[in-house]
């Protein structure tokens, strides 16, 4: 389809992480797959990301495009370099070794402590995103839309407000409202923002500065990663103190806050082509899933019988993800003959509780603390059921991987989980929509009750096969979301302030 002359053609996509090189969670996956899907719709996309060591090593052929000697105040000089990823899709790396060439994670050192200069590190990323989107860009490439993602890039909208007048439309996507980029308000000067930005209309949030609030306030439009989460964040329960700002945006102009459901990268997550699993399979060869189940049991030291359901979980081990609820529900699950395989890392106290649980139940519960991409694939393929009892979940990717892998998920009905998982009932089985199990209250009792229901259905192979097929039949890929983003960009153009 030809793009009309008014349609945006060039998108600058700013993000703090991109898989497979730098990933702490779903944002890394999204930042790899969504720009690729956008490029496939005909848009020209450049992904702006800090030049972390893994990216520097992966792209030795990158070309320096511009040097920014004075980004302002305490922001350090940087070089923008470019590397090609696929047709119409390039990386723009922000090279500033003093900020980004560090061993550890993108946000934390190896000991799990936040880098002390994160305000400057992500202030620089935001500052340069705003510059490249403005009429003052040093590049001969002028984007129509700057698409910011999460707090690490959200300050771009404030730089546009206070430092640039003209340029691209700026849109910001919220992947998780719980992370806001809060710093002392006095850092405003170091970040080269004027004193006027210290007001409630600027970046101030309860006496601190909030990168995310700046983005919510000053972007032309906002989105989040599922329709249900778009509604939830406008209420105090899920608003993390920003629900008032979000309600204001939502009510002021229709379409200022939209929810676009993420997809999954079907190049990476497809059971028929997955090289990390023991035996690839599809909906017509589900019997092969048993081989993955056996391989998972062997890898994790689980004692299995034919009638013991294997429950998998891959997650940050945090309260958001309901990691504590699974600990409380574990005795009840074991009493029903279940085996548990858990892969994750996060909160030290919850990690210790998980380890203790595994130590108390050898052969029945296996806990792997750490980040292990290959094991994540084997769990998706080898488990019978997948657990995702999140207290809140903006979108969630793992439940979609599970659905695509014929591993029905047991989820709390919130955010993107509510938008993707259809609870198994006589009615949804009859109309062919049932694909998993959902529960309401954020309690271990409710989780256990849903998992017990799931185990009962699992013991009825005919019904189970229908559930698996329903999940596998849908295309969970990015194409529908890419079309919605393209339309969202188009309708954002006239709105630039
Ligand atoms: P979030 O971004 O909130 O952590 P998502 O479900 O959107 O949750 O995405 C998490 C991503 O990170 C998925 O691709 C998941 O497989 C991956 N992941 C999380 N923890 C681990 C782990 N310990 N090992 C491997 N992959 C993990
Ligand atoms: C965040 C959310 C998760 C979402 C991901 C990608 O990390 O917690 O629900 O899937 O971003 O949008």
Tens-binned pLDDT, residue by residue, of the chain (497 aa): 444 446 889 999 999 999 999 999 999 999 999 999 999 999 999 999 999 999 999 999 999 999 999 999 999 999 999 999 999 999 999 999 999 999 999 999 998 899 999 999 999 999 999 999 999 999 999 999 999 999 999 999 999 999 987 899 999 999 999 999 999 999 999 999 999 999 999 999 999 999 999 999 999 999 999 999 999 999 999 999 999 999 999 998 888 999 999 999 999 999 999 999 999 999 999 999 999 999 999 999 999 988 999 999 999 999 999 999 999 999 999 999 999 999 999 999 999 999 999 999 999 999 999 999 999 999 999 999 999 999 999 999 999 999 999 999 999 999 999 999 999 999 999 999 999 999 999 999 999 999 999 999 999 999 999 999 999 999 999 999 999 999 999 999 875 54
102/170 same-domain check: yes
- Report how far ligand 1's centroid is from the alpha carbon of 152 (Å): 19
Annotate 132-156 with DSSP letters as a single string: HHBTT-SSS---SEEEEESHHHHTH
- From the CB of 30, is ligand 2 less than 6 Å away? yes
How far is the C-alpha of 332 from the C-alpha of 365, rounded, in Å?
13
250/291 same-domain check: no
Residues 6+ apart with CB under 8 A from 38: 11, 13, 45, 482, 485, 486
> Residue 274 falls within a domain, yes or no?
no
Mean pLDDT over all residues of the chain?
Answer: 96
- Report how far ligand 1's centroid is from the alpha carbon of 199 (Å): 36
253/324 same-domain check: no
Cα Rg of the chain, angstroms: 23
**Checking phi first, is residue 495 left (phi over 0); if not, alpha (psi -120 to 50) or beta?**
alpha
Pick the closest to residue 201 from 217, 184, 186 (CA basis).
Answer: 217
- Return the ligand 2 atom nearest residue 390 CA: 9
How far is the C-alpha of 191 from the C-alpha of 206, rounded, in Å?
19
> Residue 273 falls within a domain, yes or no?
no
Pick the closest to residue 255 from 494, 14, 12, 11 (CA basis).
Answer: 494
317/462 same-domain check: yes
Instruction: Write the pLDDT tens digit of every residue in 340-376.
Output: 999 999 999 999 999 999 999 999 999 999 999 999 9
> Residue 303 falls within a domain, yes or no?
yes
How far is the C-alpha of 113 from the C-alpha of 236, rounded, in Å?
29
- From the CB of 262, is ligand 2 less than 6 Å away? yes
Residues with CB under 6 A from ligand 1: 25-26, 29, 314-316, 343-345, 371-373, 376, 395-398
Mutate-to-test residue for ligand 1 from 16, 17, 22, 25, highest number of ligand atoms within 8 A of CB: 25
218/126 same-domain check: yes
Model pLDDT, residue 164:
87
* Mode of pairing for the β-strands spanning 182-184 and 208-210: antiparallel
Q: Whose CA is nearest to atom 3 of ligand 2?
A: 396
> Residue 324 falls within a domain, yes or no?
yes
Contact (CB, 8 A) for 246 and 233? yes
Ligand showing the shortest atom-to-Cα distance for residue 177? 2
438/300 same-domain check: yes
203/343 same-domain check: no
> Residue 1 falls within a domain, yes or no?
no
Sign of the alpha-carbon dihedral angle for 134, 246, 212, 262:
negative
- Report how far ligand 1's centroid is from the alpha carbon of 195 (Å): 39
- Return the ligand 1 atom nearest residue 399 CA: 6
Q: Which two tokens stand for residue 482?
A: 């890419």
User: For the chain, how many structural domains are there in total?
Assistant: 2
17/53 same-domain check: yes
Mutate-to-test residue for ligand 2 from 395, 398, 418, highest number of ligand atoms within 8 A of CB: 395
Model pLDDT, residue 2:
44
Q: What's the CA angle centered on 326, arms 322 and 327, to 5 degrees?
A: 115
Q: Which helix (H) or strand (E) holds 29?
A: helix 26-40
Q: Is 344 helix (H, G, I), strand (E, B) or coil?
A: strand
> Residue 214 falls within a domain, yes or no?
yes
389/252 same-domain check: no
Q: Whose CA is nearest to atom 11 of ligand 2?
A: 175
171/301 same-domain check: no
> Residue 269 falls within a domain, yes or no?
no
Residue 178 backbone dihedrals phi, psi, to 5 degrees: -70, -25
- Report how far ligand 2's centroid is from the alpha carbon of 126 (Å): 20
483/460 same-domain check: no
pTM listed for this prediction: 0.96
How far is the C-alpha of 344 from the C-alpha of 348, rounded, in Å?
11
Residue with token string 């560090």 = 102
> Residue 321 falls within a domain, yes or no?
yes
- DSSP at 3: P
How far is the C-alpha of 14 from the C-alpha of 120, rounded, in Å?
16
- From the CB of 177, is ligand 2 less than 6 Å away? no
Pick the closest to residue 421 from 408, 430, 407 (CA basis).
Answer: 408
- Report how far ligand 1's centroid is from the alpha carbon of 442 (Å): 20
214/340 same-domain check: no
- Return the ligand 2 atom nearest residue 415 CA: 9
Model pLDDT, residue 495:
56
Model pLDDT, residue 254:
81
Q: Which two tokens stand for residue 199?
A: 């007001």
Domain of residue 124 covers 10-263+479-493
Residue 299's CATH number: 3.40.50.2000
């Amino acid at each position: 389809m030809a793009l009309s002359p008014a349609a945006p053609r060039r998108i600058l996509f700013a993000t703090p992480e991109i898989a497979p090189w730098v990933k702490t969670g779903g944002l890394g996956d999204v930042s790899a797959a969504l720009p690729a899907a956008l490029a496939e719709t005909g848009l020209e996309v450049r992904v702006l990301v800090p030049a972390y060591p893994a990216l520097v090593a992966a792209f030795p052929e990158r070309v320096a495009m511009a040097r920014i000697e004075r980004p302002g105040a305490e922001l350090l000089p940087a070089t923008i370099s470019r590397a090609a990823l696929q047709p119409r899709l390039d990386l723009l790396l922000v090279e500033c070794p003093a900020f980004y060439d560090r061993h550890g994670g993108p946000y934390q050192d190896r000991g799990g402590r936040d880098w002390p200069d994160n305000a400057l590190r992500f202030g620089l990323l935001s500052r340069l995103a705003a510059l490249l989107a403005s009429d003052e860009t040093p590049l001969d490439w002028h984007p129509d839309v700057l698409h910011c993602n999460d707090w690490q890039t959200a300050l771009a909208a404030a730089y546009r407000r206070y430092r640039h007048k003209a340029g691209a439309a700026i849109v910001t996507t919220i992947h998780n409202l719980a992370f806001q980029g809060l710093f002392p308000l006095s850092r405003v000067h170091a970040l080269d923002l004027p004193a006027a930005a210290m007001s409630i209309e600027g970046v101030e949030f309860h006496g601190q500065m909030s990168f995310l609030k700046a983005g919510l306030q000053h972007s032309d439009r906002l989105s989040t990663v599922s329709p249900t989460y778009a509604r939830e964040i406008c209420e105090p329960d899920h608003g993390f103190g920003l629900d008032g700002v979000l309600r204001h945006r939502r009510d002021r102009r229709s379409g200022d806050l939209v929810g676009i459901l993420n997809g999954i990268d079907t190049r990476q997550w497809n059971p028929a082509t997955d090289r990390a699993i023991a035996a690839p399979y599809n909906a017509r060869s589900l019997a092969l899933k048993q081989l993955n189940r056996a391989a998972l049991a062997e890898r994790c030291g689980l004692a299995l019988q034919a009638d013991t359901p294997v429950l998998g979980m891959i997650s940050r081990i945090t309260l958001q993800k309901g990691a504590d609820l699974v600990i409380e529900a574990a005795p009840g699950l074991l009493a029903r003959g279940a085996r548990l395989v858990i892969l994750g890392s996060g909160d030290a106290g919850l990690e210790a509780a998980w380890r203790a649980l595994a130590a108390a139940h050898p052969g029945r519960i296996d806990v792997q603390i750490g980040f292990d991409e290959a094991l994540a694939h084997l769990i998706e393929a080898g488990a019978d059921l997948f657990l995702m009892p999140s207290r809140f979940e903006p979108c969630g990717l793992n439940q979609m991987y599970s659905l695509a892998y014929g591993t029905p998920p047991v989820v709390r009905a919130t955010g993107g989980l509510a938008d993707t998982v259809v609870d198994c009932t006589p009615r949804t089985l009859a109309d062919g929509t049932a694909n998993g199990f959902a529960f309401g209250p954020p309690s271990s009792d409710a989780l256990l009750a849903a998992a017990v229901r799931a185990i009962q259905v699992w013991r009825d192979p005919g019904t189970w096969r229908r559930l698996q097929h329903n999940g596998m039949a849908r295309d969970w890929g990015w194409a529908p979301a890419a079309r919605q983003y393209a339309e969202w960009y188009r309708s954002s153009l006239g709105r630039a302030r």
